[in-house]
Structure 1
Amino acid sequence: MAQKKAGEVDAFLSRPDFSYPVILLYGPDPGLVSERAARIADQSGVDPADPFASITLGADEVEKDVGRLYDEALTVSLFGGRRLIRVRGAGAGKNLSEAVTDLSARKLEGALLIVEAGDLKKNAALRQGVERAKFALALPCYQDEARALDRMIDEELAKAGLGIDKEAREELKSRLGANRLASRGEVEKLCVYAYGTERIGVDAVAAIVGDVSADAVDEAIDAAITGAVKKLPALIDRLVDAGTPVYQLQQSLLRMVQQLVAMRERVERAGEPVSRVVESRRPHFRRKPALETALTSLPLEALVRTAGRIEADILKSRKEGQMALTITRQMMLSIAVEVALHRKR
């Protein structure tokens, strides 16, 4: 089987083995997949600006016209040298999977095919086709682990000629990791902010690096529980584009609704005012209005029912992985609609 374990990928990236002319990179973080694919492409020796030697295709393009991929992969370069073909956004598409499997069984002459995919299951046709092929290699790309995150931070600090305090590093790491490209961008921004100093402290990190992923998740959750139906789709799309895992959104929503159930019990059974119950939780000041709106809008029975519905949808999305985002999107929108209807009563 031609595949690497997650822990072996960085070693491969330092010295890519181009005896495998088809390379598949897959994982839940599109930023990390894209960054690693770019590193391989950079080391291929092909000029990305040369339209005769390098081309990038979208997976949806290939699904509609699979012959395009064959033409590009089997065409000999007009001026000699290797040709580079990158395919982005691969998933469960049947035509693309079959074509890549077919090309993986051949020893492409003068061509390097790099395929960037999402989080593929073990039985995904595209992943299986590459892993079983003689002339292809599969590289799993998973979320930043502590060591990988430290290495990325060190790379950017070294380029900027900066040091960083231990406490500042830990604070910085706590705010990164949702998406590799976004994380690197935040560190680059921090380095620009700290230009002219020797070391970065906690204050600099707090001032310039925002926990974008966590803030965006909170905003989407708050939109769902307050009935902001029109606002919610764009918030979900932003999280998806940033590479936020669907399960993070699901679990955050479930925890919030479970908290609301406990809080609403105090309101209905102990007769406590909504404002006092919310205050006792000591939420961030920006989230207090959302909690008060949700507690005022939904009775305990509705909240219990919603919690059960979320648990059922999470289980369903685990069984139907390819539909996880669609299931989660519909779940959040239906909750928002229900809250909006209750608010109008």
Structure 2
Amino acid sequence: MASKKAHEVDAFLSRPDTSFPVILLYGPDPGLVSERAETVVRHSGVAPDDPFSHVSLQADELERDIGRLFDEARTLSLFGGRRLVRVRGAGNGRNLADAVADLAADPPAGCTVLIEAGDLRKSAPLRTQAERGRAAMALPCFQDEDKALDRMIDEELAQAGLAIDRAARETLRARLGADRLASRGEVRKLCLFALGKGQITQEDVEAIVGDVSAETVDEAVDAAASGEVKRLPELIGRLVSSGTSTFQLHGALLRFFQALQVMRGEVEAKGTPVSAVVERRRPHFRRRPALEAALGAWDGAGVAAVLGRLEHDILLSRRESALAVTVMRRSLIEIGVEAARRRARARR
């Protein structure tokens, strides 16, 4: 299988290997996927601003016209040298997965095909074809762990010529991690703020660094609604540690299922395919797979039951503020478990 473990990806990307001209980067952290994609671009030798050598495509457009990917991948560079075809926003599309299988079996000469995807299950067609292909490499990009965060912080501090005390580092770490690019941006902003001071203090961190982990709300809603139960404990931990308002999360859940109710009505009343209903909503590519999974799993009665439960939980959280976190945790877990059961029944 042509794949690397999460901790091996940075080492692989530091030594460009053109024997794998088809590269798939996937994972729940879009910032990390994007940052590593930029590393591939730098090592490719292709100028990012050269329209003849660097082509950027959207995965949803390729699903409607997959022939364009083959045309771009097999086009010779006008002025010689390698070409780079970058595909963004990939997910569970079958046409792209089949194209990866073909390109991995018969790789294009002098061209790198770089695909950026969201979180893909082990059985996802795109991931499977990339791992099986002799000329393809699948690279997982998972959420930053403490060691990875510390390494990124150290890199930025070294470039700025700054040190940081232990308390400040712990405070900084607690506010980072939801998205690699956003996290790096916050550290760079902190370094600029402290430039010339020599050492960053906890007061500096609290004054300038935003709470990047607030983005976890959308991740938690998507995981619960689509039945990704295994992700919920870690996401809940991040929500609690970041001090996220329980009302903020319950409000996001309520809005998600209200929208799902409208879409489900269209599926059941008109027989419109799930993918077509989601396409008309034009969700952000990061959230699209979860929305499709949720819309396929929940029927109208199930959505109505969740909305009733959420209204009860929101009222309970307001009346019993000391239990708000417990109620939030229960809401996410119960919804996630029910979604997982529904998806399991649908697969039988």
Q: Same fold (TM over 0.5)?
A: yes
Greater Cα radius of gyration, structure 1 or 2: 1
Partner of 1:7, secondary structure, is: helix
Count of residues in Structure 1 that have an aligned counterpart in Structure 2? 278
The answer to whether the Cα contact below 8 Å between 1:97 and 1:125 also exists between their aligned partners in 2 is yes
**1:62 has 2:62 as partner:** yes
Which residues of 2 match residues 274-285 of structure 1 at below 5 A?
274=319, 277-278=320-321, 281=322
Q: Are the structure 2 counterparts of residues 242 and 189 from structure 1 closer, same or farther at C-alpha, using a change threshold of 3 Å?
A: farther
In the other structure, the counterpart of 2:223 is none
Q: 2:248 aligns with which of 192, 217, 222?
A: 222
What do the CA deviations read for 1:196-254 (whole angstroms, capped 9, x no partner)? Answer: 21000101001111213238733584373599859x98xxx9xx7899x98xxxxxxx9
- Matching residue's letter, 1:311: E
- CA spacing shift, 1:156–1:113, aligned 2, 3 Å: same
1:304-323 equivalences under 5 Å are 311-317=334-340, 320=343
Q: In structure 1, what is the equivalent of residue 105 of structure 2?
A: 105
* TM-align CA RMSD: 3.9
- Rounded to whole Å, the distance in 2 between the matches of 1:220 and 1:117 is 30
Report deviation, 1:101: 1.4
Aligned-pair CA distance for 1:176: 0.2
- Report if aligned partners of 1:182, 1:242 keep a CA contact under 8 Å in 2: no
Letter in structure 2 aligned against 1:43:
H
Q: Name which of structure 1's ranges 218-227 and 4-13 shifts more when overlaid on structure 2.
A: 218-227
- Give the match for residue 138 of structure 1: 138
C-alpha distance after superposition, 1:305-345 (max 9, x if no partner): x9679614444158749x9xxxxxxxxxxxxxxxxxxxxxx
Work out the CA distance in 2 between the residues paired with 1:165 and 1:309.
36
1:186 aligns with 2:212: no
Q: Secondary structure at the match of 2:109?
A: coil
Aligned-partner residue type, residue 110 of structure 1: G
Rounded to whole Å, the distance in 1 between the matches of 2:70 and 2:12 is 27
| TM-score under structure 2 length normalisation | 0.69
Preserved CA contact (<8 Å) 1:24 1:138: yes
Partner of 1:249: none
Instruction: Give yes or no for contact 2:22–2:112 (8 Å, CA) kept in 1.
Output: yes
Identity %: 53
TM-score by length of 1: 0.70
Mapping 1:55-204, distance limit 5 Å = 55-204=55-204
On the 8 A contact 2:183/2:212 being kept in 1, the answer is no
